[in-house]
Structure 1
Amino acid sequence: MNATDRTPADLLRSALAADAARPLVTFYDDATGERVELSVATFANWVAKTANYLQDELSAEPGDRLALLLPGHWQAAVWLMACHSVGVVADPGGDAAAADLVVAGPDTLQAARACSGERIALSLRPLGGRFPEAPAGFRDYAVEVPGMGDRFAPYAPVDPEEPALIVAGREFTAAEVVERARAEAPGLGLTGPASRILSGLPYDTWEGVAAGLYAPLAIGGSVVLCRHLDRLAEDSLATRVDSERVTATAR
């Protein structure tokens, strides 16, 4: 990654320029057997569509707060980066009542109803499938986002010194997210582009979002993001570590 990258969105742009075809996020759900692999280009495409949706359809603006009530999931990673692309403050696991808009999965719909702004629901079904019927009071992400544009340009440049992330009650600017991710990457066992970390941590702590997205992105590596990892037997986990060429783990 470039030393001049000061926001998470900058890191993603640099990853695209360096090698758009390499894997960035590989996702497993050990409750359903789902496996999804997203290259840098595919991940960035989802981010662009979601950022366009945030900016143009939901009228989100820099400084707005989004409560992200999703587990560690590839779509949660997309939403984090879409927020960073627009300048919206992402609050994983945050209080929906204090947010301007909320994104929820099927298990957090009730908590999300506390938000008085726009509410977006994700089914978290394999292949990003739709709900059979959208939950009352929510927009179905899988219905609305696929048709959005594949390229994104913010109406105003994202300021690295403005708030970008609230996690476990602590606020970080965009620049602080990048700086801390870079600084902590070696401690996670991430040393360069060949590094590949397996993370089973949720996204509602700094440790979870660092291992599950920011640190591998900051050093040009990749992540194997695992949901329901506790359902996987140790011998099966060892097989996954070997087959996915994992170099570090966070559990």
Structure 2
Amino acid sequence: MTAPFAADARTPAELLHAYLRAGAPDADPSRPLITFYDDATGERVELSAKTFDNWVAKTANLLQDELNAGPDDRAALLLPAHWQSAVWLLACWSVGVTAVPGGDPAEADLVISGPDGLEAAQACSGERVALALRPLGGRFPQRPEGFLDYAAEVPGQGDRFAPYSPVDPQSPALETTVDGLPLKLTGEQTVQLAREGALRLGLDTGSRVLSTLSYDDWTGLEAGLLAPLAAGASVVLCRNSGELTADQWEKRIDSERVTLRLG
């Protein structure tokens, strides 16, 4: 029986490191890890594993050094399924912060919000970071009061990241839901479930998964990030795509060489 991809990885951040070391085996090395579409704006972004990791490192440095976040902290992520959301998830796991997609800001130590969540995010008494989610990672025209503008803060951060202390695979990493029921996972449990999802979905290093699902529950996280990462595969995230015609979907699936569509 063939060992799973990144068999020694025990945290989600280690899955990304393994992906980088492997160099996307059995695939074109220029293939992106994440391709993102926003069909409301016409945006299309491709991120190779190396570029994605650079964004993760910069964001993790922002978390650790500027926001003073650490393994005892919980971050509410009020974000859609977006390439920057995937960056924030891996940054949290790199630092050891527990990621809580769609979580209650009032119960979190810090909050990361897109434009649609800014009002709710004000309930957080800790650090608040706002993402404009504009094409090319652009800034807000005017920074929301009481928030850091992620696009303004992240460019100056370091391109390499090292946590102040190693992330414990047995520490809390993710709070999400499955079929509406709460699910709390350690880093090691998150990786194990991601591997099980990759096996169930039949993913391997040549797979290309298209997902239109939200990151606010396990199903969307599995489909749009974790299972592909655990398999050494790649993902196509599509946002605001409800108006696409069958012909447009067919063309996208063909052009992106999608092997599995979810959502």
TM bucket normalised to smaller = over 0.9
Q: Distance in 2 between matches of 1:249 and 1:188?
A: 10
What SS does structure 1 have at the residue aligned with 2:142?
Answer: coil
Structure 2 counterparts to residues 28-47 of structure 1, below 5 A: 28-47=37-56
TM-score (norm 1): 0.98
Partner of 1:106: 115
TM-score (norm 2): 0.93
What SS does structure 2 have at the residue aligned with 1:231?
Answer: coil
Partner of 1:12: 16
Offset of residue 229 of structure 1: 1.9
Partner of 1:180: 193
Offset of residue 172 of structure 1: 0.6
- Equivalent position to 2:230, from 218, 234, 245: 218
Is 1:247–2:259 an aligned residue pair? yes
Large movers: runs of 4+ above 4 Å: none
What SS does structure 1 have at the residue aligned with 2:156?
Answer: coil
1:90-114 residue CA offsets vs partner (Å, 9 max, x unmatched): 0000000000000001111001000
- Equivalent position to 2:106, from 97, 105, 113: 97
What SS does structure 2 have at the residue aligned with 1:41?
Answer: helix
**Larger deviation, residues 228-237 vs 96-105:** 228-237
Q: Is the 8 A contact 1:196 1:247 kept in 2?
A: yes
1:7-62 residue CA offsets vs partner (Å, 9 max, x unmatched): 00100001111117531000000111100000000000000000000000000011
- Equivalent position to 2:151, from 131, 139, 142: 142
- Equivalent position to 1:24, from 33, 37, 46: 33
Identity of aligned residues (%): 64
**Structure 1 unaligned residues grouped into runs of 5+:** none
Offset of residue 188 of structure 1: 2.5
Q: Distance in 2 between matches of 1:189 and 1:36?
A: 26
Q: Is the 8 A contact 1:185 1:219 kept in 2?
A: yes
What SS does structure 2 have at the residue aligned with 1:23?
Answer: coil
Is 1:122–2:131 an aligned residue pair? yes
Offset of residue 155 of structure 1: 0.3
Partner of 2:27: none
Structure 2 counterparts to residues 222-237 of structure 1, below 5 A: 222-237=234-249
Is 1:166–2:170 an aligned residue pair? no
What SS does structure 2 have at the residue aligned with 1:159?
Answer: coil
Partner of 2:206: 194
What SS does structure 2 have at the residue aligned with 1:208?
Answer: helix
1:77-134 residue CA offsets vs partner (Å, 9 max, x unmatched): 0000000000000000000000000000111100100000000000000000000110
Q: Distance in 2 between matches of 1:141 and 1:97?
A: 20
**Larger deviation, residues 18-27 vs 168-177:** 18-27
Letter in 2 for 1:187: R
Q: CA RMSD in A?
A: 0.9
**Larger deviation, residues 168-177 vs 122-131:** 168-177
Offset of residue 189 of structure 1: 3.7
